Structure 1
Amino acid sequence: MADAHSPSLPPILLVGCGKMGGAMLEGWLAEGLAPSVIVDRHRDTLPAPHRLVRDVADLPADFRPGLIVLAMKPQKVAAAIAAIAPFAAHAPVLSVLAGRTVGGLTDALRAHMPAGAHPVVIRSMPNTPAAVGEGMTVSYAPPHATAAQRALCDRVLSAIGRTAWVEHEPEIDVVTAISGSGPAYVFLLAELLEQAGVEGGLPPALARQIARQTVSGAGVLMQRSGIDAEQLRRNVTSPGGTTQQALSVLMAPDAWPATLRAAVRAASRRARELAS
């Protein structure tokens, strides 16, 4: 972690500080962030020397961000584009807006910039574990983005977890459905395990503790061991044992294999719809 006198991250203009924007901001603050500006209507405080403004119309004209991050609700980006465009003439734009394409955002920015301007928009999909430095962010950069701009985005995103890149933008819709929405699927698993424990007669507090630790512990084991998930599953499954009996239900063709695929397809479809 950087100290307050040697920030490791450049000044950032963060537009939107809800669940995702807030998670990213917490990670950046922990890493060491140069004086930045955050636009949010609901946040009450921000540690010095960072500045909080309520609306993009109030952005300080003297601010020179190294990176602009768009993290508002996708349907609200249109109202902010004109105010952001002057800053995008000098800094790349990192969008974490589900469904908003690089081309659409680039064209919207260019409409408010001098003729011949070439704003650079890089599209990313982080997830909420970014708040504890355990995020998974996958990004796409258009061909005209420079290596330095890609490296800058990767450095900023690495402060909140692991990063990866795709070569084709449509792949981001699948990423959105898996890692972007994926924490909710995992939390649902913990929720259902807790409910099953209570229904089986366990005290609620104990059921909650067991469910949460089982899910989080399994995740840590999978990450640290480097063993394939399928093999880890087999390692827990004794022939004819309790786990095998449970998996015979969960892995039935019309159970998890079908429903999880359907869920990911539904989320991917919604990501594409948001871009239309």
Structure 2
Amino acid sequence: MLYLISILVVFFYHESGDENNPIKQLIKIVDDPSQPLDTRIEAAYLIGKLGVSAKEAIPHLITVLRRLQGRELEPLQIAIIDSLAQMGYTARIALPALTMASGRSIDIDLAIKRATKAILSTTDEHDVTSLVKQLGSSDPSQRLRAVDALRRLGDEAKEASSALMELLDDADYTVRNAAIEALLTISRDRKIPDAIIRAIAKDLNESDPLRRLLALYRLGKIGSPSAIVADEVDKLRNDTDTNVRRVAQEILNKILNTEKK
């Protein structure tokens, strides 16, 4: 669920051009002691789910972690450490802080061990060859980090397109959708391959309405080429979810009207 929310947050942020950076808002929540603990924890995990795209949060997460002492707000400390682990290579600057936090509790030490292993096992996000190799990892979190790094490289990662295409059938939903996002970014100035559009359309049958909505928004962003899956979109006009029905109609009108023009 957090991954889907994070994707939608970033999607709407880029689409609207909103000056209220959602990552900065999440940082404020994590750092705000007046917020409920569960809210701060969820914000920390959400930052982690955003991966390298939220790297600006790393210094702030380190500051909060250093401020906490012993087992103080232990669940929040663990959430912050796990979030840093999701940042991969870019979170190496956090290793000294993780070392200083060791010995606070068994659970915190286990989180630090996981994070240190995750951070040290990832590669430089600009090394496309190494990132492509990482796509073949048996660990979904490693594949996800590599995909996210390639997405950030954009056109520079076009040689990784074939490897990313193979992940369109990945067993892990999060990895599969991250691969779709990466391919859409890399193909931004070129024709979107039909295989990517059909891969997105598969998620129109997902049981989670958020997943169906995400697929619809992606098809709408692509525009007229999405007309090849218009029949699948049309079926969602009778969806059980009100928002899905509404968006399906909007996207269907958009892709068909764009095609006619």
- Fold-level match, TM-score > 0.5? no
Q: Specify which structure has the higher proportion of strand.
A: 1
Q: Which has the higher contact order (CA 8 A, sep 6+)?
A: 1
TM-score, normalisation: structure 2: 0.30
Larger Rg: 1
TM-score when scaled to structure 1? 0.29
